[in-house]
Amino acid sequence: MDKIWLIIQREYLTRVRKKSFIVMTLLTPLLMAGLVVGPVLLAKTGSKQRIVEIVDAGNLFGGVVPTSEKIDYQFVGTDVAAAKASFRKSKHTALLIIPPGFRLDQPGDVQLVSRENADLETTRRVKNAVDNQIEASRLRQSGIDRTTLDKAKSDLDLSSIKLDEAGGEQASNSGVTTGVAFGLAMLIYFFIFLYGVQIMRGVMEEKSNRIVEVIISSVKPFQLMMGKVLGIAAVGLTQLMLWILLSWGATTAVAAVTGAPGMAEQRMEQVTASSARTPEEAAKEKAKMSQAMEGGVLKAMGNLNLPLILGSFLFYFLGGYLLYGALFGAVGSAVDGETDSQQFMMPITIPLIATIIVAQSVIIRDPNGSVATWMSMIPLTSPIAMMMRIPFGGVPGWQLGLSMLLLVGGFLATIWIASRIYRVGILMHGKKVTYGELSKWFFYKA
Amino acid sequence: MQPILQAIDVRKAYANHVALDGVSLDIPEQSIFGLLGPNGAGKTSLIRIITQITGADSGEIRFRGQRLNPSHIAQIGYLPEERGLYKKMKVGEQLLYLAQLRGLSRADASARIKSWLERFDVKAWADKYVEDLSKGMQQKVQFIATVLHEPSLIILDEPFSGFDPINANLIKDEILELRKKGATIIFSTHRMESVEEMCDNIALINRSRKVLDGPVSQIKETFKTQTYEVEGKGHLLVVHPDFEVLEHHDRENGYFYDRIRLHAGATPNDLLRFLIGQVEVHAFREQIPSINEIFIRRVRETMPESLVEEEAEARR
C-alpha cells in the first residue's frame, strides 16, 4: 500500500510542478474573469450617444420627436434629396427616411441611410421607434386609448411549484435547475476527457521510456496503474479547486479595480433593452427581472437539494473519472505512439460524447423518462446522465442507489479488464496491436 | 552451501510459443552467473519470472530455499536490457523514488545516493534533469538505481550495451566489487569475452531449454578436443595413426603453424616426442575452446535436424 502512495506522490508532484500546469492554472481564471467582466466593460464604454436624422416626408411622426435613451432624433425637414446631401456632410449616425406617399395601412419603403453599414443596435432601436409610432397612430385611428390597451394586456407570471413527497410546496425554476444540471454534467465530461488523456499519455511515456520494466519489478502493474490514476485525479481536483478560488478572486478583483458596479444589473439592462421596446416597458421588465433574481433564482437555488446534488456530483465525478481513467490507462499501455492511440480511443470517447448529446436533447426535456433512466444506470453513461437528472429531483432512491452500485461494480470490472490488458501491453513493443490481440492479452496467465 | 536462487522445472508458455520448457538452474551464493543464449531463447522470460514481473506456468523458483514471493523484491536488483528513466525528473529525485519503491527508507536512500554519486564523481548530477544527460550518463544512473538498495541478487541484462570502454570497465569493476561484498550477480549477455572474464558459472539456454550449465572451468574442460597448437621451424610431415593435422600453415623462413588433434590413447607428450624428432619446436600449447566456440557448438547441436538442413540449404 505504501508503494501505491509513493506512486501517487510522484505522479502528483511531477505534474503540479510543471510549468504548463502552473501557467494553465493561473491563466484560466484570468480568462474567465475577462469573459465575465469584459462584455460589461465594453458595453459601458461603447454606449456613446447616437444622432439619427429623420426626414418625415410622409408625416408619420406628426412633428413629435420620438424619445429614446441612447438615440437623439432630429427632424431635418421634408426634402429627401436635400436631407441626403446635408447628411453626407454631417457626422450623424444615420438618416431615417419616411417617403412622401407613406400610408399607415400599408407601411413600406422606409429607409435608414448611413455612411457605413448601420450597426445592429441602432437599426433595432430605430425600427422599434418606427413600429411604436405606427402602432400608436393606428390605435389613435381606431379610437383606442393606449392605457386601455395596456390594461387589457395579460402578463401572467406563471410560478412553478414543485410538490414534494412530504406534501410541502417549493418554488422551482426550471431555468436554474437546467443550468445547474448541465453545468455539472459538462464539468464531469471535460474532467474525464482532460485527465483521462493525461493518464494515457503518462502510461505511454513510461512505456516508451522503457522505465516500466524496472518499476514493475518493484510493484505490481496494477499498483502502478492505480497509483497513476489516483495521482492524476489529485492533480485534477487541485486544478479545479484553484480555478474556482482564483476565478472568484480574479473576478472580484477585476470588478473592483475597473469599478464596474453591479455587473448583474448591467447584464440585465442588456437583456431587457433588447426585448423591450419602450423605456417604460424596459424599466418594468428590469424590475421584474431583479425581483426574479432576488426572489426566484435565489429561492430556486435554495430549494434545490444542494447536499444531494453536491454529494452525488462528487460521487459521479470521481466514479466516472476512475472508470474511464482505467480504460485510458489500458489504451496507453496497448499502443506504441500517439497516432496508434486514435483507434482505441474511439470506443471510449463514443459513449461519453453520445451521453452529452443525448443529455442536451432528450434528458434535459424529460429527466425522468425511460432514456434518461436507462442511461443513468449504465456505468459508462451514468456519471453524466444521472448528474443531468438529479437537480430536477424526482429520481427515486432505489434508482440512485442502483446506479451508484452499478457504477462501483462497473469500475471494478473495468479496472480488472484494464489491468489485465495493461500488464501485458506495457511490455509489448513494436507490435501493431489489434482488438484480437487485446483480447488474447486479456486471457494470458499472469 | 545452499544456492541463493534455484529454478526447478520452470515452464512458461505464451499464446503461440513455449518460452521456457522445464528449465532448472542452481545459482550459487556470491558468484557471477552467466545466462547465455541466442536471441529469443527464453532468457528474458526467465529473468522476468525471477524478477516477479510474470509468473511461471509450472515449476518453482526458490530464493534461499523459500518459494519466491513479493517480500524478496527488496533483495533483488534488476537492470533490464530495455531500460530507461523518467526524462522530466531530476536524477536525485528519480533515484530516491526508485529506491523507495524497492523498500528503502527515505533517509537511507538519500545517504546512499550521495555516496554513489560521489563514487562515480558525478555529484553535480543530482539536480540535473535526466533529459539533459548523455546516454552514457543515464546508463550510470540506471546502474546506481539497480544496486542502491544493496540487493543480494543483482540481475543485469546486457549491462555493457551503450557504454564506452572506459565506463564499461568502471561498471565491470563495480560488479566484481559487489561480488566481493557478498552479492550474487546474474549476468545475461551476448558478449562472450566478458563472460569468460567474469563469470564463475554459466547456463546456456537455447530454444526454451537449458542445454548446458556448470562452472566455466569445468565446462571448458569438458569441451576440450585434445587439440594442440604447434609452432616451429622445419619441415613437418605427420603420418601417424595417433595424430591428425587439422590445420597446417607454412610461414616465411621455414616456420610453420599446425593444429593437431590427438586420437584416443595418445598423450601430449607422445606428440611432443614425435615432433621433436622432426622439427624445431617453438611453441606447444593445448587449444582450450572459448566460451564463444562452445556456445556456437552447443547451439548448433541442439538445433533440430530440420533447421540444420534448412541452414545448409540456405548456404548452398
CB pairs under 8 A between A and B: 63
Provide the β-strand partners of residue B95: none
Residue A439 contacts B, CB cutoff 8 Å: no
H-helix or E-strand spanning residue A268: helix A263-275
Residue range B148-168: mean pLDDT, rounded: 88
pLDDT digits (tens, 9 = 90+) for A273-322: 444 455 555 566 556 555 555 555 556 666 677 788 888 888 999 899 99
Check A217 against B86: CB less than 8 A apart: no
Contact residues on chain A for B51, CB-CB shorter than 8 A: 217
Residue range B206-223: mean pLDDT, rounded: 88
Whether residue B111 sits in one domain with residue B248: no
Whether residue B190 sits in one domain with residue B246: no
Q: What is the pLDDT of residue B92?
A: 92
Q: What is the pLDDT of residue A157?
A: 66
Alpha-carbon torsion (B286, B287, B289, B290), positive or negative: positive
Residue B218 has pLDDT above 60, yes or no: yes
Number of other CB atoms surrounding residue A228 within 10 Å = 24
Residue range A181-203: mean pLDDT, rounded: 89
Whether residue B281 sits in one domain with residue B205: no
Determine the residue of chain B that is closest to A2 in CA distance.
Answer: B101
Residue B154 has pLDDT above 90, yes or no: yes
Q: What is the pLDDT of residue A29?
A: 80
B49 min Cα distance to partner chain A (Å): 10
pLDDT band for A37, please (50, 70, 90 cuts).
Answer: confident
Rounded distance, CA A126 to CA A278, Å?
Answer: 11
Q: What is the pLDDT of residue B11?
A: 92
B84 min Cα distance to partner chain A (Å): 4
Residue range A1-7: mean pLDDT, rounded: 86
Residue that terminates a domain, selected from B163, B190, B214: B214
Residue range B199-224: mean pLDDT, rounded: 88
Residue A429 contacts B, CB cutoff 8 Å: yes
Residue B153 has pLDDT above 90, yes or no: yes
Residue B84 contacts A, CB cutoff 8 Å: yes
Check B101 against A216: CB less than 8 A apart: no
pLDDT digits (tens, 9 = 90+) for A240-257: 888 888 878 877 777 776
B199 min Cα distance to partner chain A (Å): 24
Q: What is the pLDDT of residue B179?
A: 93
**Domain presence at residue B310:** no
Q: Select the residue of B76, B82, B87 nearest A213 (Cβ to Cβ).
A: B82
For A423-432, B94-103, B176-185, which range has the lowest pLDDT when averaged over its residues? Answer: A423-432
A218 min Cα distance to partner chain B (Å): 6
Q: Which of A73, A36, A34, A81 minimizes the C-alpha distance to A57?
A: A81
Whichever domain contains B59, its CATH number is 3.40.50.300
Contact residues on chain B for A440, CB-CB shorter than 8 A: 15
**Domain extent listing, chain A:** 50-140, 173-258+304-443
Whether residue B281 sits in one domain with residue B146: no
Whether residue B74 sits in one domain with residue B43: yes
**Reported ipTM:** 0.80
What is the rounded average pLDDT for all residues in chain A? 80
Determine the residue of chain B that is closest to A203 in CA distance.
Answer: B86
Q: What is the pLDDT of residue A73?
A: 85
Domain that includes residue B242, residue range: 225-286
Check B76 against A217: CB less than 8 A apart: yes
Determine the residue of chain B that is closest to A439 in CA distance.
Answer: B15
Phi, psi of B240 (to 5 degrees): -150, 135
Rounded distance, CA A330 to CA A125, Å?
Answer: 59
pLDDT band for A82, please (50, 70, 90 cuts).
Answer: confident
Sequence-ordered alpha helix ranges (H) in chain B: 43-50, 91-101, 106-119, 135-147, 165-180, 192-198, 216-222, 268-278, 291-301, 305-315
Which grid coordinates belong to B250? Answer: 607454412
**Domain presence at residue B128:** yes
**Domain presence at residue B299:** no
Whether residue B268 sits in one domain with residue B138: no
End-to-end Cα separation, chain B, in angstroms: 51
Residue A225 has pLDDT above 70, yes or no: yes
Check B98 against A10: CB less than 8 A apart: no
Q: Select the residue of A14, A209, A444 nearest B85 (Cβ to Cβ).
A: A209
Residue that terminates a domain, selected from B181, B214, B247: B214
pLDDT digits (tens, 9 = 90+) for A95-126: 888 888 787 777 778 888 887 766 777 888 88
Highest-confidence segment of A272-276, B152-156, B240-244, B287-291: B152-156
For A171-185, A230-244, A324-338, A417-431, which range has the lowest pLDDT when averaged over its residues? Answer: A171-185
Q: Could you say which residues from 161 to 190 on chain B have a Cβ atom under 8 Å away from some Cβ of chain A? A: none
Residue A5 has pLDDT above 90, yes or no: yes
Residue A71 has pLDDT above 60, yes or no: yes
Determine the residue of chain A that is closest to B12 in CA distance.
Answer: A445
B301 min Cα distance to partner chain A (Å): 31
Specify the higher pLDDT residue, B4 or A258: B4
Check B55 against A445: CB less than 8 A apart: yes
Element counts in chain A: helices (H) and strands (E):
17, 6
Q: What is the pLDDT of residue A279?
A: 55
Q: What is the pLDDT of residue B148?
A: 92
Phi, psi of B243 (to 5 degrees): -115, 145
Which grid coordinates belong to A263? Answer: 455587473
Q: What is the pLDDT of residue B222?
A: 85
Task: Give the number of domains in chain B.
Answer: 2
Determine the residue of chain B that is closest to A443 in CA distance.
Answer: B15
Residue A19 contacts B, CB cutoff 8 Å: no
CATH of domain A50-140: 3.40.190.10
Whether residue B95 sits in one domain with residue B26: yes
Whether residue B139 sits in one domain with residue B66: yes
Q: Select the residue of A14, A214, A445 nearest B83 (Cβ to Cβ).
A: A214
Residue range B40-55: mean pLDDT, rounded: 88
Buried b (16+ CB within 10 A) or exposed e, B247-281: eeeeeeeeebebbbbbeeebeeeebeebbeeebee
Percentage of chain A exceeding pLDDT 90: 16
Q: Are A86 and A46 in contact (CB under 8 A)?
A: no
Check B80 against A213: CB less than 8 A apart: yes
Whether residue B55 sits in one domain with residue B94: yes
Whether residue B46 sits in one domain with residue B95: yes
Number of other CB atoms surrounding residue A377 within 10 Å = 17
Determine the residue of chain A that is closest to B55 in CA distance.
Answer: A446
Residue A444 contacts B, CB cutoff 8 Å: yes
Specify the higher pLDDT residue, B236 or B152: B152
**Domain presence at residue B311:** no
